[in-house]
Structure 1
Amino acid sequence: MQKIRTFLWFDTQAEEAAEFYTSLFPDSKITDVQRYGEAGPGEAGTVMTVEFELAGTRYIALNGGPEFTFNEAVSLSVDCDGQAEVDRLWAALTADGGEEGPCGWLKDKYGLSWQIVPAEFTELVRDPDPQKSARAMQAMLGMKKLDLEQLRAAHAGREA
């Protein structure tokens, strides 16, 4: 059992967002939907919470109203297996009103921030050679969506 879960506050799109997110990642599913009862505070019968799993990690989404919104202080970071996964997730999460940000960050159409990072990037910036590491970091700082080939080239000290 996962002791700590991330709780995400949506205005009214909790179920829609959970369905979207679970469509993007293998080993993902909606596990429970709770509806408001007569006591409220939401309209009776409407979705209150949605429990779901993304790649085996559990989350709860709440339809809590417009009082609170997401900001970049919290993001979901995804270690991608390669450029194809980076490209697929980037396209899906920035579609329909999502926004690209710097350095592999984006906001999806619900305003939730994500970091879409090729797992290999961590190896490049952890290289014990400080010049190689610095070149990879400098390359990343100039990107929106991370480009693994350009990161590798910068790390190696060559043009992509």
Structure 2
Amino acid sequence: MTNQIYPCLWFDGQAQAAAKFYCSIFKNSKITADNQMVVTFELNGKKFMGLNGGPHFKFNEAVSFVVDCDTQEEIDNYWSKLTADGGSEGTCGWLKDKFGVSWQIVPTVLPKLLSNPDKAQNVMQAYMKMKKFDIRELENA
């Protein structure tokens, strides 16, 4: 495919470990090429590249990956796996994994709840207090 666009993630010597970690979490994922400098991989069929670029740059929240989840079980699964072994919880569905990459684990029902004029304010107040999203609590807000 020409002109394919995909993210390149800059790691300090951990690109292969990160690719293996992410491929173990997401279905339909695999490492497609690997050498000491660069690893390419697919997560849910989407292409990524990991670069062992050194300590010059660090990840921050300016870029994050959003994972849409239909069920609480999906949210719980991704949340626990991505925060494992040194990851950290943020607020409003945000987290950082052990490599410092930011993720948003979001219920697919959230836009619908926020578009309901009778519930939107309560839903927003509820999720602003959350770290990991709780679908039932959002629906009951």
TM-score (normalizing by structure 2): 0.95
Cross-structure match for 2:7: 6
Cross-structure match for 2:128: 141
2:68 alignment partner, one of 64, 79, 83: 79
Deviations 1:115-137 (A, max 9, x none): 0011111221122xx23122111
Instruction: Give secondary structure in 2 for the equivalent of 1:65.
Output: coil
Asked which structure has the greater CA Rg, the reply is 1
2:50 alignment partner, one of 39, 48, 61: 61
One-letter identity of the residue aligned with 1:13: Q
Q: What is the rounded CA distance, in whole Å, between the counterparts of 1:55 and 1:126 in structure 2?
A: 28
Q: After superposition, where does 1:4-153 map in structure 2 within 5 Å? A: 4-34=5-35, 47-127=36-116, 130-153=117-140
Identity of aligned residues (%): 56
Give the CA deviation at 1:66: 0.6
Give the CA deviation at 1:27: 0.9
One-letter identity of the residue aligned with 2:11: F
RMSD (CA atoms): 1.1
One-letter identity of the residue aligned with 1:75: S
One-letter identity of the residue aligned with 2:118: Q
Deviations 1:39-86 (A, max 9, x none): xxxxxxxx1111011111111000111110100110000001210010
Q: What is the rounded CA distance, in whole Å, between the counterparts of 1:134 and 1:50 in structure 2?
A: 44
Instruction: Give secondary structure in 1 for the equivalent of 2:119.
Output: helix
TM-score (normalizing by structure 1): 0.84
Q: What is the rounded CA distance, in whole Å, between the counterparts of 1:30 and 1:126 in structure 2?
A: 39
Instruction: Give secondary structure in 2 for the equivalent of 1:131.
Output: coil
Instruction: Give secondary structure in 2 for the equivalent of 1:17.
Output: helix
Q: What is the rounded CA distance, in whole Å, between the counterparts of 2:62 and 2:93 in structure 1?
A: 15
Identify unmatched segments of 5+ residues in structure 1: 35-46, 155-160
Instruction: Give secondary structure in 1 for the equivalent of 2:34.
Output: strand
One-letter identity of the residue aligned with 1:131: D
Instruction: Give secondary structure in 1 for the equivalent of 2:55.
Output: coil
Q: What is the rounded CA distance, in whole Å, between the counterparts of 2:98 and 2:56 in structure 1?
A: 18
